[in-house]
C-alpha cells in the first residue's frame, strides 16, 4: 500500500492473482461490458490491494484515443491568458482530459514543440497564440482539427474557430472619451508582428474615423508593464497625446503609472487610458481601469462546445463569434 514499488503491476499479473484472464481484468474496468458482478467486485478488490490501475499509454495505443489536449499559448504568466487557461484546465479535467501546455517564445521552437506534441496523438488542439499561423497548425496536426482563437472569420474547412469582436464596445469607449474633450489619440500595441493587435487597433481606428479623428501616434511594446511604462513616457512627452489605447490591461497600468509618476498627469482629467482583456487585476481599487473586456466564462464555454462537437464527430467548419463589452473604471 504505502512505500515505493519499483515496477507497476500489469493486467496479466493481476489476472493471475485473481484467477481470471487479462481480458476479464480489462472488462472489470470498462463500465458497461459483459462481466459477472461478483467477478468484477473480486477483481477490483484485488486491484485496489495491489495498487493496480490500467496503463493509459497502452490503452491509448489500442483505442486510438489519448485523452490528451494540447494548449498552445504565448505565456503562462501573462494574466490575461492565465484566467482563461485556469478555467479551461478545470473544464478539461472534469471531462477526464489532460492538458499539455505548449508555451514558447521563439517561433522556430514553437513549431518544433507543436510537432513534438502531435506525435503524442493529442485528441484536441487549442491555439490561443496569435504567433502561429493557421496553416502551420493544420499542417502539423494533420489528423486533429485544431480549434483556433481568432479575431476574424477563418475560411478554412480544417479548423474550427472562435472569433472575438470588440468593435461595438470600442465605439462606446471612444464616444465617451471624445465627449470628455480628448482629441489626440495614440495606440500602444502589444507587438508589431501580431495580427490580433492589428485587428484590435482597427476597432478603435474605425470608431475614431466615424468622428473625423485618427490615431496621431503609435508605439509598440511587448504586453509587459515595463514596456507600457516606457512607451507611454515617450508618447506623452514627445507626441503630447491626451488619450492612449493600450493592447492589454497590463500595459495600460504601466502607462497610467508613467503618466502619474513621470509627468504628473492624472486620469481621467489630464489623460484617458484604456486597456484591453478585462483581467481581474484591472478592477482592483488601485487600478480601476476602463477596459475592453471579454467574458472569460463565455469564452471558455465556446472552446468546450467546440471540443464536444469534435468528439461527437459533427462534420463541417464550426465558428463561434463572441462580442466584447466596455467595462468602466476611472481612467477614461
Partner DNA sequence: TTTGCCTGTGTAATCGTGTGCACAATTCGT
Partner DNA sequence: ACGAATTGTGCACACGATTACACAGGCAAA
Sites of contact with its own copies (CB under 8 A): 1-8, 51, 53-58, 60-61, 66, 68, 75-77, 79, 82-83, 85-86, 89-90, 93, 96, 98-105, 109, 113, 115-121, 135, 138-139, 142-143, 145, 157-158, 225, 229, 253-254, 256-258, 261, 280-281, 284-287
Q: Which of 10, 156, 158, 323 touches DNA (CB under 7 A)? A: 10
Contacts of 140 (CB under 8 A, 6+ apart): 111, 114, 115, 118
For residues 153 to 182, the per-residue mask of contacts with DNA, x marking binding by CB under 7 A and - elsewhere, is ------------------------------
How many CA atoms, within 13 angstroms, populate the side-chain half-sphere of residue 238?
Answer: 11
Per-residue cell: 111: 513549431
Q: Are 203 and 174 in contact (CB under 8 A)?
A: no
CB nearer to DNA: give 58 or 101. 58
Residue 260 phi, psi dihedral angles, 5° rounding: -70, -45
120 binds, among DNA, its own copies, none (CB under 5 to 8 A by kind): its own copies
CB nearer to its own copies: give 28 or 199. 28
Q: Which helix (H) or strand (E) holds 127?
A: strand 124-127
Using DSSP bridges, classify how beta strands 325-327 and 290-293 pair: parallel, antiparallel or unpaired: antiparallel
Per-residue cell: 28: 472489470
Per-residue cell: 141: 496536426
Size of the site for DNA (CB under 7 A): 32
For residues 49 to 88, the per-residue mask of contacts with DNA, x marking binding by CB under 7 A and - elsewhere, is ---xxxx--xx-xxxx------------------------
Task: Compute the C-alpha angle 224/302/85, nearest 5°.
Answer: 35
52 binds, among its own copies, DNA, none (CB under 5 to 8 A by kind): DNA
21 binds, among DNA, its own copies, none (CB under 5 to 8 A by kind): DNA
CB nearer to its own copies: give 108 or 214. 108
Per-residue cell: 283: 478592477
Task: Compute the C-alpha angle 194/263/188, nearest 5°.
Answer: 10
For position 141 contacting DNA by CB under 7 A, the verdict is no
CB 8 to its own copies: min, Å: 5
Residues between 18 and 47 with contacts to DNA, criterion CB under 7 A: 19-27, 29-30, 33-39
What are 88-91's contacts with CB under 8 Å, separation 24+? 88/126, 88/300, 88/303, 88/304, 91/300, 91/303, 91/304
CB nearer to DNA: give 52 or 229. 52
Q: What is the spatial distance between Cα 318 and Cα 304, in angstroms, rounded to a whole number?
A: 12
CB nearer to DNA: give 97 or 251. 97
Q: What is the spatial distance between Cα 55 and Cα 59, in angstroms, rounded to a whole number?
A: 6
CB 304 to DNA: min, Å: 24
Residue reference for cell 476611472: 330
For position 8 contacting DNA by CB under 7 A, the verdict is yes
**Residue 52, helix vs strand vs coil:** coil
29 binds, among its own copies, DNA, none (CB under 5 to 8 A by kind): DNA
The residues binding DNA (CB under 7 A) are 8, 10-12, 19-27, 29-30, 33-39, 52-55, 58-59, 61-64
Amino acid at each position: 500500500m504505502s512505500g515505493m514499488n519499483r515496477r507497476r503491476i500489469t493486467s496479466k499479473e493481476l489476472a493471475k492473482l485473481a484467477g481470471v484472464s487479462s481480458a476479464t481484468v480489462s472488462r472489470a474496468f470498462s463500465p458497461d461490458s459483459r462481466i459477472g458482478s461478483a467477478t468484477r467486485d473480486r477483481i477490483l478488490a484485488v486491484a485496489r490491494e495491489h495498487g493496480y490501475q490500467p496503463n493509459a499509454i497502452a490503452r491509448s495505443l489500442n483505442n486510438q484515443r489519448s485523452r490528451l489536449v494540447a494548449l498552445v499559448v504565448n505565456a503562462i504568466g501573462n494574466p490575461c491568458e492565465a484566467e482563461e487557461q485556469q478555467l479551461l484546465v478545470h473544464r478539461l479535467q472534469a471531462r477526464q482530459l489532460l492538458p499539455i501546455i505548449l508555451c514558447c517564445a521563439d517561433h522556430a521552437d514553437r513549431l518544433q514543440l507543436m510537432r513534438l506534441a502531435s506525435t503524442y496523438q493529442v485528441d484536441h488542439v487549442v491555439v490561443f497564440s496569435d504567433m502561429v499561423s493557421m496553416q502551420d497548425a493544420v499542417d502539423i496536426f494533420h489528423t486533429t482539427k485544431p480549434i483556433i482563437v481568432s479575431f476574424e472569420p477563418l475560411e478554412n474547412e480544417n479548423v474550427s474557430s472562435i472569433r472575438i469582436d470588440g468593435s461595438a464596445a470600442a465605439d462606446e469607449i471612444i464616444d465617451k472619451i471624445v465627449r470628455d474633450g480628448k482629441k489626440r489619440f495614440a495606440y500602444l500595441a502589444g507587438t508589431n508582428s501580431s495580427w490580433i493587435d492589428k485587428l484590435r487597433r482597427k476597432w478603435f481606428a474605425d470608431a475614431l474615423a466615424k468622428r473625423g479623428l485618427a490615431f496621431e501616434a503609435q508605439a509598440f511594446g511587448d504586453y509587459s508593464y515595463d514596456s507600457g511604462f516606457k512607451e507611454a513616457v515617450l508618447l506623452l512627452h514627445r507626441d503630447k497625446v491626451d488619450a492612449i489605447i493600450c493592447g492589454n490591461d497590463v500595459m495600460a497600468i504601466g502607462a497610467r503609472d508613467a503618466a502619474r509618476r513621470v509627468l504628473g498627469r492624472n486620469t481621467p482629467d489630464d489623460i484617458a487610458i484604456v486597456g484591453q482583456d478585462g483581467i481581474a487585476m484591472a478592477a482592483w481599487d488601485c487600478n480601476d481601469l476602463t477596459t475592453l473586456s471579454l467574458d472569460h466564462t463565455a469564452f471558455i464555454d465556446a472552446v468546450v462546445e467546440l471540443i464536444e462537437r469534435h468528439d461527437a464527430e459533427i462534420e463541417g467548419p464550426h465558428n463561434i463569434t463572441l462580442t466584447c463589452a466596455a467595462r468602466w473604471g476611472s481612467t477614461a
